[in-house]
Amino acid sequence: MIVKLVVKLNCNVVLSNYLNLNPIKEELQKRKIQILEGKTLFYYLSLDILEYISKMKKEELKEQEVTILISKLDKKKEELILNIAESIKSLRIVTNQIHLLERIEKYLEEQMGIAIMISNNKRKSLSKSKIILNLDYCEEMINEFTINREAIIINILEKTEISAKGFCGVNILDYEIKYNEVIQNKLFFPIQSVYESKIIGRNRIEIAKMIEDDYVRITGLKGKNGVINIKEYQK
């Protein structure tokens, strides 16, 4: 009944915690219904997540050296790269589409005085990276690289497992938030999915203003085994 109604309405849906564990979710996915799971919001909170990690490490954001993994470039990702580049100490971009990122590299150097590195060396590119922001590399692609065994990896698009030999770092798959609006049903629906439903269809400027006005803040990051302990960031 639920599946038929959603298909008829042809709309995005937020599933309750119960339905997220129910076969209904798989059926909706088969029918190409977009289930809001906080991935779009995850992307827009990327810089906030870097800020949160810095605090957990007892460091400043401006001291961080970040590597971005990116395969497909669009306007949204380009804006994120620019925002991150001017907020941290140094930025490396690892991509299999180097020619697409050369324009951004030139703009950052000529217009903002910021030098970045672009590479795709599977043996060296991630071997010393401390913080890796994985925008869109799938599990198979990222595991082709030699990865710093103590890296902190933030997976935005997919919940990616790291199979690199000896990896004992932090692999972030999800996040927790709070914001000003009181949600009466927070025990029944994922808060990040509910908030994401508010921003879908809005432009970047509108979303940024909403996040600021609603005082959306990161309260925790989650890995395979749940919320990551603060000690894990301080290895």
d(CA 162, CA 206): 35
pLDDT of 94 strictly over 80: yes
Per-residue model confidence as pLDDT tens digits over 28-73: 666 666 777 788 999 999 999 999 999 999 999 999 999 999 999 9
Report yes or no: 152 and 169 within 8 Å, Cβ to Cβ. yes
pLDDT of 90: 95
Q: Could you tell me what percent of the chain has a pLDDT over 70?
A: 83
pLDDT of 28: 64
Angle between helices 204-213 and 191-199 (to 10 degrees): 130
pLDDT of 19: 65
pLDDT of 229: 94
Report yes or no: 227 and 220 within 8 Å, Cβ to Cβ. yes
pLDDT of 4 strictly over 60: no
Domains of the chain: 1-35 (no CATH), 40-174+224-233 (3.40.50.720)
Spatial strand order in the sheet of 174-178: 174-178, 217-223, 226-227
Average pLDDT on 140-150 reads 94
Q: Return the sign of the alpha-carbon dihedral for residues 46, 51, 56, 59.
A: positive
